[in-house]
């Protein structure tokens, strides 16, 4: 952001805001499923608890003003907590499928730009006593890592913070030094590796409407770590997740009796630094493009091939290089726009698969334990499927989001991914 005007949206945040349309809502959804209780969550008590903590997140009480030459954050003078923490009336919402339908409708609804761009919608109780909170946060306000910080600051009950994790290998430390000549020489190589590899026609290259259909599944984090550790070249949890998705897509797409396409996944990479303040939201993301070996029948070979590719890209700092490149191009608008069109082409990648670390220890809301945490991000034009994952206390929750008019029956893909996980686990651990 500009030092002269800290409330002006960053270039990344403004770009994301500009993508919103009649069919693109621009927000992410986190589905929080809490344990059963004898009485429903007290919405008034939750409003009070959230209100008392909003001062740690200044954007939570601001809206975006687009009346000037550039969008800016301004105070929302008519802020009411009841507009943002409310109970969603869903008659007959008793089952898992009912809950999925309810959050699918929420995913398709735009947030009100006259108000701060977030909501907590309480849903339930379900037939088994569980309740859910559908959290929506606009991507112009927060990316995946920032959204997790937001939940930690304003929704979860107070809890002890775990010790900080070691920096992830493969990403350049913020303090590392490279000369300008080094950077200039490296950027074209990163572009060649990540862009310009036109794949086959994507089965997800379809126009989309505003309709959304969501499905969810889970995988135990310790077993994903064990699968990765079992390989000759240790695979990361994210590699294992990509292999599970590849196996699920192989089964799901094979059912259509068509040849398996060559699919590339775009994997967002967060470049947030550990020394950022808790109230610093916004976007600082780059990406890697990874081939998904759908034609490979052996689940372990699929994993090893994915691991070999991601390891090389991380060693070469492609995500950092592309982030630097696009920001350098931002000084020349037409060139930047052309580069982003290329990077976002359906022939450059077929679907986006994100994975965000959530709370490592159990968390609760109003004294009730969070049993499951899921993430969902919306599809885009020519990318009618989006897959998002988030961890919580040893469980990875995976959200699948499509436009059902373009790509129906996403629940069957969730089942196929469960089968893919079981196949990979049995091959790796037994």
Please indicate, yes or no, if residue 383 is contained in any of the structural domains. Answer: no
- Asked whether residue 335 is domain-assigned, the answer is yes
CB–CB of 289/321 below 8 Å? no
41 with 103, same domain: the answer is yes
Q: Evaluate whether residue 67 is within a structural domain.
A: yes
- Same domain for 142 and 65: yes
| Residue numbers of the domain that contains 15 | 11-154
Instruction: Note whether 388 and 401 are within 8 A (CB).
Output: yes
Same domain as 216, residue 291: yes
pLDDT at 131: 97
Average pLDDT, 10 consecutive residues per value, the chain (430 residues): 72 89 96 96 97 94 94 94 95 94 97 97 96 97 91 92 54 42 46 50 90 98 96 94 96 74 81 47 64 94 94 60 44 45 60 93 97 96 94 97 95 97 93
163 is a domain residue:
no
Which domain CATH number covers 312? Answer: 3.30.559.30
- The closest alpha carbon to 397, from 214, 213, 229, belongs to 214
| Alpha-carbon radius of gyration of the chain | 21
Do both 407 and 315 map to the same domain? yes
Per the domain annotation, does 162 fall within a domain? no
Q: Looking at residue 192, what is its pLDDT?
A: 47
Q: What angle do CA 143, 210, 89 make, to 5 degrees?
A: 85
Q: Are residues 407 and 273 in the same domain?
A: yes
Query: pTM of the predicted model, to two decimals?
Result: 0.84
Residues 120 and 225 in one domain: no
Query: Do 184 and 143 belong together in one domain?
Result: no
Cβ atoms of 299 and 420 closer than 8 Å:
yes
Q: Are residue 277 and residue 341 in the same domain, yes or no?
A: yes
CATH number of the domain that 68 lies in? 3.30.559.10
Domains held by the chain: number = 2
Examine residue 168 and state whether it is found in any structural domain, yes or no.
no
Do 129 and 231 share a domain, yes or no?
no
Name residues whose C-beta falls within 8 Å of residue 342's C-beta, 6 or more positions apart in sequence.
195, 196, 348
- DSSP one-letter string for 212-273: -EEEEEEEEHHHHHHHHHTSSSPPPHHHHHHHHHHHHHHHHHHTTTSPPP-EEEEEEEE---
Evaluate whether residue 371 is within a structural domain. Answer: no
Answer yes or no: do 281 and 417 share one domain.
yes
Domain-located, residue 209:
yes
Of the candidates 116, 136, 154, which is a domain's last residue?
Answer: 154
Task: Give the pLDDT score at 271.
Answer: 53
Distance of CA 314 to the CA centre of its chain: 20
* Pair 201, 241 in one domain: yes
Looking at the fold, whether 219 and 338 belong to one and the same domain comes out as yes
What are φ and ψ of residue 247, in 5° steps? Answer: -65, -40
pLDDT reported for residue 349: 81
Instruction: Please give the Cα distance from 281 to 57 (Å, whole number).
Output: 8
């Amino acid at each position: 952001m500009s030092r002269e005007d800290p409330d002006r949206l960053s270039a990344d945040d403004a770009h994301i805001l500009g993508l919103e349309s009649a069919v693109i809502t621009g927000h992410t959804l986190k589905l929080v499923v809490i344990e059963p209780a004898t009485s429903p969550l007290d919405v008034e008590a939750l409003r009070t608890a959230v209100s008392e903590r909003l001062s740690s997140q200044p954007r939570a009480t601001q809206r975006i003003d687009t009346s000037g030459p550039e969008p800016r954050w301004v105070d929302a003078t008519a802020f009411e907590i009841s507009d943002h923490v409310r109970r969603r009336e869903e008659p007959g919402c008793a089952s898992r499928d009912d809950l999925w339908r309810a959050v699918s409708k929420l995913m398709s609804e735009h947030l009100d730009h006259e108000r701060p761009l977030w909501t907590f919608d309480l849903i339930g109780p379900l037939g088994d006593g569980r309740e859910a909170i559908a959290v929506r946060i606009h991507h112009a306000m927060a990316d995946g890592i920032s959204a997790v910080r937001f939940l930690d600051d304003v929704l979860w009950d107070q809890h002890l913070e775990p010790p900080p994790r070691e920096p992830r290998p493969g990403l350049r430390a913020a303090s590392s030094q490279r000369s300008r000549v080094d950077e200039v020489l490296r950027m074209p190589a990163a572009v060649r590796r990540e862009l310009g590899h036109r794949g086959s026609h994507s089965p997800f290259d379809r126009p989309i409407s505003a309709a959304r259909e969501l499905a969810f599944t889970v995988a135990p984090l310790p077993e994903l770590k064990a699968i990765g550790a079992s390989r000759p070249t240790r695979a990361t949890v994210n590699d294992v997740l990509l292999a599970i998705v590849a196996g699920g897509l192989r089964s799901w797409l094979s059912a259509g009796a068509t040849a398996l396409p060559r699919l590339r996944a775009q994997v967002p990479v967060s470049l947030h630094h550990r020394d950022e303040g808790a109230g610093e939201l916004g976007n600082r993301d780059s990406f890697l493009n990874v081939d998904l070996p759908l034609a490979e029948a052996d689940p372990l070979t699929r994993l090893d091939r994915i691991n070999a590719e991601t390891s090389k890209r991380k060693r070469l700092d492609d995500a950092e290089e592309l982030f630097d490149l696009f920001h350098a191009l931002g000084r020349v608008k037409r060139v930047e726009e052309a580069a982003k069109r290329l990077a976002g082409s359906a022939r450059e990648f077929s679907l986006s698969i994100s994975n965000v670390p959530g709370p490592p220890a159990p968390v609760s809301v109003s004294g009730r334990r969070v049993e499951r945490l899921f993430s969902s991000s919306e599809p885009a034009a020519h990318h009618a499927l989006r897959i998002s994952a988030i961890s919580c206390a040893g469980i990875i929750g995976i959200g699948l989001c499509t436009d059902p008019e373009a790509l129906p029956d996403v629940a069957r893909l969730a089942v196929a991914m469960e089968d893919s996980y079981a196949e990979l686990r049995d091959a790796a651990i037994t």
